[in-house]
Amino acid sequence: MSERLLVEGMVLSAMPIGEYDKRIMILTRERGLISAFIRGARRPNSPNLAAANPFAYGTFEIYEGRSSYTVSKTDIKEYFRELTQDLEMVYYGFYFLEIAEYYAQENMDERQRLKLLYLTLKVMEKKVLSLSLIKFIYEFKTLVINGEYPNVYTCQVCGKKEDLHAFSMKHRGLVCDSCREKEGGEVLQSSSIYTMQYIVSTPVEKLYTFKLSEGVQSELIELMRIYRKRYFTHVFKSEEFLEKSMW
Ligand SMILES: [Zn+2]
């Protein structure tokens, strides 16, 4: 018998296996992204019936098999029930889960990603920030956690720290006024620049603590849309769905 382990994390996706079982992807604090088998999870009387679904957050007792983990017991603390009962929120939620699953890796420290995901779903349920702003913040912070994000502190051409008023798609970050004249770049509102700096430097716990004017918000959302289109070729299925639905 292999040793049993306790991991804390969130179910990102679930796939039916055979008649009664499921395979789930769990983003864990201890082991990064893992794939685990839950025997009998689709039987109506299974104690793991609800735990084997996306958004379930809690503790999972697992043991390691030859090629995969098997879940033996679950203790779910949070199902995000309010979120899963709202169609618009649930689509956004699935998109956030899909992003986390795409970038997370097994046996890597994914604690920041897990925390970001958890707090993002929590803030959605509070309904104080618009879903499109939450989406922008989540996408940007995901790039920061991945370690591949636009430079928003220095000019990408000359390295200067002053006179930064424009963003260059070509140079993947801010450019100063004189470099913009030569290299091009789109002038942004100063709040847009400050917001990006805030997202880069602020811990996940304090991320969702600001609101933006409509103008700044749409400027940032558009910038992120173009940036992702240019530098990230992966298409997220749930995002395509989100865009087709006319919210
Ligand atoms: Zn410059």
Residue 30 CA to ligand 1 center (angstroms) comes to 42
Q: What residues contact 196, with CB distance under 8 A and at least 6 apart?
A: 140, 150, 152, 220
Residue 208 · residue 119 · CB < 8 Å? yes
Residue 179 CA to ligand 1 center (angstroms) comes to 4
Q: Structurally, what CATH architecture does the domain formed by 4-79 represent?
A: Beta Barrel (2.40)
Question: What are 172's strand-pairing partners?
Answer: none
What is the C-alpha separation between 138 and 20, in angstroms, rounded? 35
Indicate whether 16 pLDDT > 70.
Answer: yes
Q: What percent of the chain has pLDDT over 90?
A: 89
What is the C-alpha separation between 38 and 53, in angstroms, rounded? 11
pLDDT of 233: 82
pTM for the model: 0.94
Domain ranges (residues) in the chain: 4-79, 83-151+167-244
Give per-residue pLDDT as tens, 205-235.
Answer: 999 999 999 999 999 999 999 999 999 889 9
Residue 174 CA to ligand 1 center (angstroms) comes to 9
Residue 163 CA to ligand 1 center (angstroms) comes to 8
Give per-residue pLDDT as tens, 61-79.
Answer: 999 988 889 999 999 999 9
Give per-residue pLDDT as tens, 126-180.
Answer: 999 999 999 999 999 999 999 999 999 999 999 999 999 999 999 999 999 999 9
At residue 7 the predicted structure's pLDDT band, cuts being 50, 70 and 90, is very high
